[in-house]
């Protein structure tokens, strides 16, 4: 299991527009392709104008296949300009859990 944490720094004042675009259209395009959404957040205190979303994948190969499929979806291609104009910077991390976390996750699904 791996986790992808995507952090976007938005232009000042663009959070509401980003939330509206993703909530009304974007997330429904992403979910079938990307799979397990762990969380989708925006900052309220601290570094403002940040969006963080976290996805889990079974492996890097799984992530690659899913992201490639999303990138080829015509709906996603037409949606992207609606949010790209709001984003100033993007940061992406891939995290692997400690073994004891993977064990806990496995026990929860039993």
Of 56, 28, 53, the closest CA to residue 43 belongs to 53
pLDDT at 108 > cutoff 80: no
Residues sharing a CB contact under 8 Å with residue 97, sequence separation 6 or more, in sequence order: 1, 3, 105
Of 86, 98, 105, 97, the closest CA to residue 11 belongs to 86
Q: What tens digit of pLDDT does each residue of 4-20 get?
A: 999 999 999 999 999 99
Question: How many domains does the chain contain in total?
Answer: 1
CATH code for position 85: 3.30.70.100
Least confident of 61-65, 88-92, 103-107: 103-107
Higher-confidence residue of 71 and 107: namely: 71
**Residues 104 and 110 sit within 8 Å (Cβ to Cβ):** no
Domain that holds residue 6: 2-108
């Amino acid at each position: 299991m791996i986790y992808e944490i995507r952090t976007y720094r938005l232009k000042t004042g663009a959070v509401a527009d980003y939330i509206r675009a993703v909530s009304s259209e974007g997330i429904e395009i992403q979910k079938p392709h990307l799979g397990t959404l762990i969380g989708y957040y925006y900052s309220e205190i601290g570094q403002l104008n940040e969006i963080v979303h976290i996805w889990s994948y079974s492996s890097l190969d799984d992530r690659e296949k899913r992201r490639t499929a999303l990138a080829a979806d015509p709906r996603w291609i037409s949606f992207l300009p609606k949010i790209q104009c709001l984003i100033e910077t993007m940061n992406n991390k891939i995290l692997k859990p400690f073994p004891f976390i993977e064990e806990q996750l496995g026990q929860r699904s039993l």
